Amino acid sequence: MNFKVLKSKIDFTAEVFGIDARQNISHEQKIQLTKLINEYAVIILKNQKINDDEQIKFSENFGFIEPAGTNTELTKITDRRLSLKMNDVSNLDKNNKPLTKSNQNRIFALGNRLWHTDASFKKIPVTFSILSGRKVSSKGGETEFCDMRCGYKALSNKMKNKVESLIGEHSLQYSRGKLGFIMKDVLTNKELKKFKPVLQPLVRKNYVTDRKSLYLSAHLGLIKDWELADSILFINDLMEICTRPDYIYSHKWEENDLVIWDNTQVMHRGRYFNDQKEIRDVRRTTIAGTEMLIDQ
């Protein structure tokens, strides 16, 4: 296994060679790959023509798989295209047809186009995400990543101290609300309870490298004990710092790319493509975290 760093303004993406995700990887390869993900934060493996079972098996090298969201009746289990170990990040319904413009599942999924970290709304947040490009759009549909270690580093010492003392409230209600999807209008009270905000620190540390990152996400909607308006303005300022063009790598997908990122160190977002005409079938497995960062 070897790798090359993809040069952008900052180096946080590496392309790795010599791994076949369809095959069992050796213990040594697993250690090396995990080290690279922690060191760089975004890893690209090209030409990985895998199926769902192979993706699940490969992903389990990095920990337990976080089950896909089942918190709402928006998508009934019988309407799912994929198993509960797979997150469907496509624009497709169960008949493999593009979701129509006003379909609620489509609107919900558009939240992926906001800068976010996966599943920061869970009490125990996830670690790595593994995204497989089974079919990709001919135009647009890139995934952009920004390095949150740089965002943290860019802060003054005074601001670093301030953010380290703050706690954020994360919920899908906040991210979807930004797109006008008001959950309380659509979901039952029982479902809404499952979207109660969870607490996360604003700064988190990578377990392996000890490097600190800002922990932001579209799911972050409130700073604990702050006014909503003050929270929104403060979060917006931090978001602007972290998403400076210099801190971004944009991944232009090719079929069978497998992209792995560390949610403890980067945010990401999908970009526009013509989802009414083109098919973009990308599938995600996500690795569960092992501990709460803050008592709830």
Which residues make up the interface to Fe ion (CB under 5 A)?
118
Question: Whole-number minimum distance, CB 268 to Fe ion, in Å?
Answer: 6
Phi/psi of residue 203, nearest 5 degrees: -125, 130
Q: Please identify, using beta-carbon distances, which residue of 162 and 178 lies nearer to Fe ion.
A: 178
Q: Which residues, 6+ apart, have CB-to-CB distance to 255 below 8 Å?
A: 133, 134, 135, 136
Q: Please identify, using beta-carbon distances, which residue of 197 and 270 lies nearer to Fe ion.
A: 270
Q: Please identify, using beta-carbon distances, which residue of 112 and 231 lies nearer to Fe ion.
A: 112
In the bound complex, which residue of the shown chain has the CB atom lying closest to Fe ion? 118
Q: Please identify, using beta-carbon distances, which residue of 61 and 112 lies nearer to Fe ion.
A: 112
Other beta carbons less than 10 A from residue 144's beta carbon: 17
Question: Whole-number minimum distance, CB 282 to Fe ion, in Å?
Answer: 10
Q: Please identify, using beta-carbon distances, which residue of 118 and 142 lies nearer to Fe ion.
A: 118
- Alpha carbons 199 and 222: distance in angstroms, whole number: 10
Question: Whole-number minimum distance, CB 70 to Fe ion, in Å?
Answer: 17
Question: Whole-number minimum distance, CB 250 to Fe ion, in Å?
Answer: 15
Q: Please identify, using beta-carbon distances, which residue of 66 and 118 lies nearer to Fe ion.
A: 118
Question: Whole-number minimum distance, CB 219 to Fe ion, in Å?
Answer: 10
> Could you tell me where the DSSP H helices lie in the chain?
27-40, 52-59, 104-109, 148-153, 157-164, 172-177, 183-186, 189-193, 228-242
- Alpha carbons 296 and 104: distance in angstroms, whole number: 30
**What separation in angstroms does the CA of 122 have from each of 164, 219, 296?**
20, 10, 11
- Alpha carbons 16 and 105: distance in angstroms, whole number: 34
Residues facing residue 168 across a β-bridge: 200, 223
Question: Whole-number minimum distance, CB 141 to Fe ion, in Å?
Answer: 13
Question: Whole-number minimum distance, CB 111 to Fe ion, in Å?
Answer: 9
Residues facing residue 287 across a β-bridge: 65
Sheet of 220-223, strands arranged across: 198-201, 167-170, 220-223
Q: Please identify, using beta-carbon distances, which residue of 231 and 286 lies nearer to Fe ion.
A: 286
Question: Whole-number minimum distance, CB 195 to Fe ion, in Å?
Answer: 17
The 8-class DSSP code of residue 62 comes to G
**What separation in angstroms does the CA of 266 have from each of 87, 138, 187, 194?**
19, 26, 30, 26
The answer to whether 149 and 247 are in contact (CB under 8 A) is no
